[in-house]
Amino acid sequence: MLNANHVNKSYQRGGLFSKERKQVLTDVSFEVKRGECLGIIGESGSGKSTLGRLLIGIEKPDRGNVTLDSVDIANINRRIGKISAVFQDYKSSINPFFTVEQAILEPLELQRISEDQQTKKVDGLLSEVGLPHTFKHKYPHELSGGEIQRVCIARAISTEPSCILFDEAISSLDVSVQLQVLDLLRKLKETHSITYVFVTHDIQAAAYICDRILIFRHGQVEEVVETESLKDVQSDYAKQLLRALVTF
pLDDT, tens digit (0-9, with 9 covering 90-100), for 178-208: 999 999 999 999 999 999 999 998 888 999 9
Please enumerate in sequence order all residues whose Cβ is within 8 A of that of 17, keeping only pairs 6 or more positions apart, or say none.
Answer: none
Residue 248 has pLDDT above 60, yes or no: no
pLDDT of residue 245: 54
Alpha-carbon distance 143 to 148, whole Å?
A: 6
pLDDT at 55: 95
Inter-residue contact 210 to 51 (CB < 8 Å): no
What is the residue extent of each domain of the chain? Answer: 1-82+162-248, 91-158
Task: Give the per-residue pLDDT at 68.
Answer: 93
Angle at 193 between CA 102 and CA 241, to 5 degrees: 95
Spatial contact of 209 and 187, defined as CB atoms under 8 Å apart = no
List, for residues 111-146, the tens digit of each pLDDT value. Answer: 777 788 888 999 999 999 999 999 999 999 999 989
By percentage, how much of the chain surpasses pLDDT 70? 96
In the three-class reduction of DSSP (H, G, I as helix; E, B as strand; rest coil), residue 143 is classed as coil
pLDDT attached to residue 240: 82
Q: Which CATH number fits domain 1-82+162-248: 3.40.50.150, 3.40.50.300, 3.90.1150.10, 1.10.10.10?
A: 3.40.50.300
Q: Which amino acid is at 99?
A: T
* pLDDT band with cut points at 50, 70 and 90 for residue 247: very low
Cα gap 171→74, rounded to integer Å: 28
**Tens digits of per-residue pLDDT, 32-86?**
999 999 999 988 888 999 999 999 999 999 999 999 999 999 888 878 889 999 9
170: pLDDT strictly greater than 50 = yes
Q: Mean pLDDT, the chain, as a whole number?
A: 90
Q: Region of 81 please: left (phi>0), alpha (psi -120 to 50) or beta.
A: left
Q: Which of 9-18, 92-101, 178-187 has the lowest mean pLDDT?
A: 9-18
Largest CA distance in the chain: 56
Is the pLDDT reported for residue 110 higher than 70?
no
Cross-strand pairs, 167: 87, 199
